[in-house]
Structure 1
Amino acid sequence: MRVKSLVALLVLGTATATLPACGSASPDAARPATVPAADAGRSTGPAATAGGTPSGTPDARTGFGTPKPSASAKPSAGAVLKAGNPDGHAPVPAEARAVDTSHPTRTVGTGTAASCTSAAVVKAVAAGGIITFDCGPAPVTIRMTATAKIRNANGPRIVLDGGGKVTLSGGGQRRILYMNTCDSAQGWTTSHCQNQDSPQLTVQNLTFADGNSTGDTTEGGGGGAIFVRGGRFKVVNSRFVGNRCDRTGQDLGGGALRVLSQYDNKPVYVVGSTFTGGVCSNGAATSSIGVSWTILNSVFRQNKAVGAGANPARAGTPGGGSGGAVYCDGNEFAVRVAGTIIEDNHANEGGGAIFFVSNNRTGTLQIDDSTLRSNPSDGFETKGHPGIFFLGARLS
């Protein structure tokens, strides 16, 4: 069933948990969710800086990803990957479309599957630029023996295009891809690392499978497949399968994606992509602090938030368990979901489909032409909106 507005969500569930009153057993209803120390006290709006102000808008760029985003950019010829909601028809803005990778900076592989190695991926990602793959005619899985890490000076654009035939696998042992403008080990490039316009990371026509960031609590942890802090980030025509992060923690999340500190609070774009089988304490598919999202024509299915005790954690619990698919926390941010299916996800605590807490109640959540069904929240959800827990300025 397609949902034109949140009013129609009423018909998608017959049992709705009543929100606990302030001071009751569910702390998310009584108190703001906690921001990790790295982000505590910072504004999430356009003025957010530390030690300086943004150096201005990106030079000679009209959009995110290419100097002139191409409306005709498509998956590479012969692509076999099928991702996203084929019945989703939400318009995709130019800066959210696939990047033209017909003239790559560098290529992983020399035409055979054996030439497409973890080491080659790590080296290419560190060098930056537009990266494509030449692994032969058949689909290939590259098992990563180390996490590919972006060097912040090697931008401004980093694009990974798998041509629809490449799977990057963490083998259930490690995170697959990492970008952090505030990580000195990857190089500081400005005096305001949490609010800079680059690197601009795009992943497209790729599958990310079996990533696992369990035990890595840097910047609050999470991001089993991909962790991003700073710059810009978008995902186009990609799949995320069976990724995971720590099973407990009150604000730790992102079985597939964990995102923090996007430039001027511009949105993360997720377009025509699919998230299945994610497991994490919170946000089994995606998780963020103070980040805006635009999610278009995508699918979230069978992801599980398995933590217990919510946020802040109830006494005697480790915390977590909210946002079966999507977990959003922070102050001023906006999330839009359009042309998207969110189904059969589960949260031990709140928001079987979407957990949304704007601590200062300025955040907005908009859902258009989307289907939300069978997303149980075992603990709590917003009355009248099955599968959603919302605290903010406007839910529409």
Structure 2
Amino acid sequence: MTSLAALLVLGVATATLPACASGDPTPASQAGWSAPTVAPSASAAGVAPATPGASGSPVASASPKPAPPAGKVLAAGNPNGNATVPAAARAVDTSKPTRTIGTGTPASCTSAAVVKAVAAGGVITFNCGPAPVTIKMTATAKVRNANGPKVVLDGGGRVTLSGQGQRRILYMNTCDEAQGWTTSHCQNQDHPQLTVQNLTFADGNSTGNLAEGGGGGAIFVRGGQFKVVNSRFVRNRCDRSGPDLGGAAIRVLSQYENRPVYVVGSTFGGSAGQGGSCSNGGALSSIGVSWVVLNSVLSHNEAIGSGANPAKSGSPGGGSGGAIYCDGNEFTVRVAGTVIENNKANEGGGAIFFVSNNRTGTMTIEKSTLRRNPSGKFETQGFPGIFFLGARNPTVTGSKLS
């Protein structure tokens, strides 16, 4: 599903974007949500059984009320963002979890427990003690397509899942026979419905894992529905080259009825040395998928491939979309209340690369700031940091692009 966009760039592009100063304040840290504490209970691999009477079908609701802080709590997103968050994009109520990872101590929160809980599905919380904990993943947690239908992973603001620079952290694929086929149309089914919230994903790495086109250093999703709320992604990686491979943090394909992936109040990178790095899409990447990014921060991410898409003769391809890389036909991107800054791309779109092959796709940017996102070779004139081919120029309201 490669694009012909790169063949046209010389006629529509400008030179590399210079750094531009801005008086807008850099987003400050913001305390994240804390999930309610769950009473520990014994279980194999540190996975506690369901709370008596709890349902495996959570209802989307307003964000859970914060619990009193105990130890450092996750800070994510743009605290100055004021975009309205629709009900479908809000945190899932996890006050009655289906299962809990851990029995009250850091030692009980293991990679094996995470893998087991994700495979079982339902609403999953953590009970690792009051202090922040990093769980070193020794295997990728994989969603089983028959379980759920909702799969919610809520870290309570104190849990980091680390790929240790060696592996992808979380995987869902409705068309992967190894995870079970549940319909005859795996590319367009409404389940599983995966939510990650109040979590940090660190040091994921999908390099060399090229199934379904590769990418998705921290999270890979194909099919069903997916959203991210109040989460942080740092130092994630995927392959360094490839014309249509991307998503150091997240790669998404084939969402149900082209419903958007919601990314709300989340941070990708956030400071120097913390960003993601991949051939394309240093944070997010997709083909034929719509996105709504609200009140978030994407900074210090890199698209490090070279040769664009399709790959120029003698090059491996890639290098577009420092923060976001979107390709395909009919899809939309909406960015609101969000800061995208200090990302860079070796080829095009230091902030965002957007190519709708059939020119039906649209993009809107609302109440957001895009600044200091250098494009190495091409971008769309008048839209610093953006390379765009779609139905019409991006709609920009109440925003600053520099």
Match of 2:62 in 1: 71
Counterpart of 2:204 (choices 211, 226, 230) is 211
Match of 1:324 in 2: 322
Match of 2:181 in 1: 188
1:144-196 deviations in Å (ceiling 9; x for gaps): 00000000000110000000000000000000000000000000000000100
1:98-128 deviations in Å (ceiling 9; x for gaps): 0000000000000000000000000000000
**Is it true that 1:143 corresponds to 2:136 in the alignment?**
yes
**Any idea what SS the aligned residue of 1:21 has?**
helix
CA–CA distance in 2 between the matches of 1:86 and 1:364? 27
CA–CA distance in 1 between the matches of 2:9 and 2:196? 38
CA–CA distance in 1 between the matches of 2:343 and 2:379? 14
Match of 1:361 in 2: 359
Match of 2:239 in 1: 246
**Any idea what SS the aligned residue of 1:153 has?**
coil
CA distance 1:288–1:72, change in 2 (3 Å)? closer
Retained in 1: the 8 A contact 2:58–2:93? no
CA distance 1:325–1:123, change in 2 (3 Å)? same
**Any idea what SS the aligned residue of 2:281 has?**
coil
1:211-252 deviations in Å (ceiling 9; x for gaps): 000000000000000000000000000000000000000000
**Any idea what SS the aligned residue of 1:121 has?**
helix
CA distance 1:75–1:209, change in 2 (3 Å)? farther
Match of 2:375 in 1: 377
CA–CA distance in 1 between the matches of 2:363 and 2:148? 32
Match of 2:284 in 1: 286
Match of 2:220 in 1: 227
Shift of 1:21: 2.4
1:284-341 deviations in Å (ceiling 9; x for gaps): 1000000000000000000000000000000000000000000000000011000000
**Any idea what SS the aligned residue of 2:387 has?**
strand
Counterpart of 1:90 (choices 80, 83, 86) is 83
CA–CA distance in 2 between the matches of 1:312 and 1:230? 25
CA–CA distance in 1 between the matches of 2:9 and 2:277? 25
CA–CA distance in 2 between the matches of 1:286 and 1:210? 15
**Is it true that 1:263 corresponds to 2:261 in the alignment?**
no
After superposing on structure 2, the runs of 4+ consecutive aligned residues of structure 1 that deviate more than 6 Å are none
CA–CA distance in 1 between the matches of 2:151 and 2:216? 18
Q: Which runs of 5+ in 2 are unaligned?
A: 1-7, 16-55, 270-274, 396-402
CA–CA distance in 1 between the matches of 2:147 and 2:373? 41
Counterpart of 1:173 (choices 130, 150, 166) is 166
CA–CA distance in 1 between the matches of 2:351 and 2:332? 17
User: What TM-score results when the alignment is normalised by the length of structure 1?
Assistant: 0.84
Retained in 2: the 8 A contact 1:19–1:383? no
Amino acid in the other structure paired with 2:143: I
Shift of 1:73: 2.6
**Any idea what SS the aligned residue of 1:20 has?**
helix
CA distance 1:72–1:149, change in 2 (3 Å)? closer
Retained in 1: the 8 A contact 2:282–2:321? yes
Retained in 1: the 8 A contact 2:57–2:149? no
**Any idea what SS the aligned residue of 2:88 has?**
helix
Amino acid in the other structure paired with 1:253: G
Match of 2:299 in 1: 301
User: What TM-score results when the alignment is normalised by the length of structure 2?
Assistant: 0.82
**Any idea what SS the aligned residue of 1:164 has?**
strand
CA–CA distance in 1 between the matches of 2:143 and 2:59? 23
Retained in 1: the 8 A contact 2:243–2:310? yes
Identity of aligned residues (%): 78
**Any idea what SS the aligned residue of 1:355 has?**
strand
State the Cα RMSD in Å. 1.6
Retained in 2: the 8 A contact 1:76–1:163? no
Q: Which runs of 5+ in 1 are unaligned?
A: 1-17, 27-64
CA–CA distance in 2 between the matches of 1:190 and 1:256? 28
Match of 1:60 in 2: none
Retained in 2: the 8 A contact 1:73–1:97? no
**Any idea what SS the aligned residue of 1:95 has?**
helix
CA–CA distance in 1 between the matches of 2:363 and 2:173? 26
Shift of 1:280: 0.1
Match of 1:20 in 2: 10
Q: Give the paired residue count.
A: 339
Match of 2:119 in 1: 126
Counterpart of 1:199 (choices 192, 196, 218) is 192
Shift of 1:75: 5.3
**Any idea what SS the aligned residue of 1:120 has?**
helix
Task: Using CA pairs under 8 Å that are at least 6 residues apart, name the structure with larger relative contact order, 1 or 2.
Answer: 1
